[in-house]
Amino acid sequence: MTAHSVFVRNPRSRDVETREQFDALVRSGATDMAGWKLHSIDFSDGLPEGLDPSGAVFLGCSFADGAQAGLRQAGALLFPAVPDVPFDAYRGQLYSPGDLFEHIATRPYEDTLDARIYSWTRGADVRRDLYVTLATALHDHAISDALDDVLAAGTFAGSRIVGVMGGHDLARDDAGFAAAAVLGRRLAAEGFTIATGGGPGAMEAANFGAYIDGADDAEFERALAELARVPSFTPSVTDWARSAASVLDRYPDGRANLGIPTWFYGHEPPNLFATHIAKYFTNSVREAILLQRCNGGIIFLPGAAGTVQEIFQDACENYYASEGDVRPMVLVGRKHWQTTLPAWDLVQSLGRGRLMGERIHLVDTIDEALAVLG
């Protein structure tokens, strides 16, 4: 590489995430793989004759014995699968509830992929092991890449995404849960895409409301009442998840929405109503991604430390943002944000005399919050 060389992204770059997608490209007449990034695909039966692998990147793919040397010689770049971890470090797609909670109807939560990964993160040497650090970093990069794909050209392309943040400990039988669900439902009806931190409590409520927005009022109330029979993920995550799965079984075609949780808070399980789940290991990365992707603004329902952190992280971004990049911040609950946890006064002071000053709001009702974003 010369001193003047720079890395240039291949304009033909293409993510190939399944064998079915690969086979379709071959059937369409593809003859070379330059720019292809292939994620965790089984090629143990070899590549088709006449397909040039030069310039392709194989991420965690499997091959027949001896095939890898030939691919490298032909100009492909191979990244080996990461062994002895309970996740795919090169995952090419976001998670679904079915991925993280597979077999929840018949097996306990502790047997799910989500629980196994969280248990693995609690291992004594996980946080000190360079090998593990690299594996989790690769995973989080892959998830960000997959998220960008669905936002740019996939399910959520062109969407106005509104974040809903709030406390994880809000019980399903609390009036605040129903209010957050109504908020999510009405935002979805207005054409917004909902994004939350993906966990229980207010986050689950907003994802649930967005998911079920096509149901009539009576069905919505019945689903709320069913969830309320298992108010919390404590003492049993299994029962909590199964009650959500039961609702999903009756409404399998809900509206697509986002959840962005983290295994850093693995004791807070992800909720099942986010259809697309970008789950991260590193919470700081997850927080930044979550806030940055909410191009339609963020609504902050009552919460505690995590929600306060999100308020001031979002305020910092708005404080330094240029005109056109400042996004609405709506704090819901005057008493909570002025007395219980008086974040509003500081946010308002930060906004005084700056562009963000006109885009920060303190309200008490869902109608007020919707009016601000409308």
Residues 125-163 have pLDDT tens digits of 655 677 788 899 999 999 999 999 999 999 999 999 999
d(CA 98, CA 116): 15
Residues in contact with 222: Cβ distance below 8 Å, sequence separation at least 6, in sequence order: none
pLDDT of residue 283: 93
Lowest mean per-residue pLDDT among 4-8, 190-194, 368-372:
4-8
Answer whether residue 12 shows pLDDT above 70: no
Within the chain, strands assigned E span: 14-16, 36-39, 42-43, 57-59, 62-63, 77-79, 161-165, 193-196, 258-259, 276-277, 298-300, 329-332, 360-363
Task: Please choose, from the candidates 112, 306, 87, the residue with its C-alpha nearest in 3D space to the C-alpha of residue 196.
Answer: 306
pLDDT at 3 over 50: no
Query: Sign of torsion, CA 362 367 369 374?
Result: negative
Neighbours of 129 (CB within 10 A): 13
Which tens digits make up the pLDDT trace of 18-33? 999 999 999 999 999 9
pLDDT of 56 over the 70 cut:
yes
What domains does the chain contain, in order, with CATH numbers?
A: 14-79 (no CATH), 97-296 (3.40.50)
Q: Tokens 């909590």 map to which residue? A: 240
Question: 226-250: per-residue pLDDT in tens?
Answer: 999 999 999 999 999 999 999 999 9
Question: Contact 38/57 with Cβ under 8 angstroms?
Answer: yes
pLDDT tens digit sequence for 301-350: 999 999 999 999 999 999 999 888 999 999 999 999 999 999 999 999 99
The whole-chain average pLDDT of the chain stands at 93
pLDDT at residue 125, rounded to an integer: 62
Give me the residues paired with residue 360 across strands.
Answer: 329
Residue 4 pLDDT > 60: no
All residues at 6 or more sequence positions from 131 whose CB lies less than 8 Å from its CB, including other chains: none
Q: What is the pLDDT of residue 259?
A: 98
Paired with 16 in beta bridges are 38
Predicted TM-score (pTM) of this structure: 0.91
Per residue in 260-278, pLDDT (tens digit) is 999 999 999 999 999 999 9
Q: Percentage of residues in the chain with pLDDT exceeding 90?
A: 89
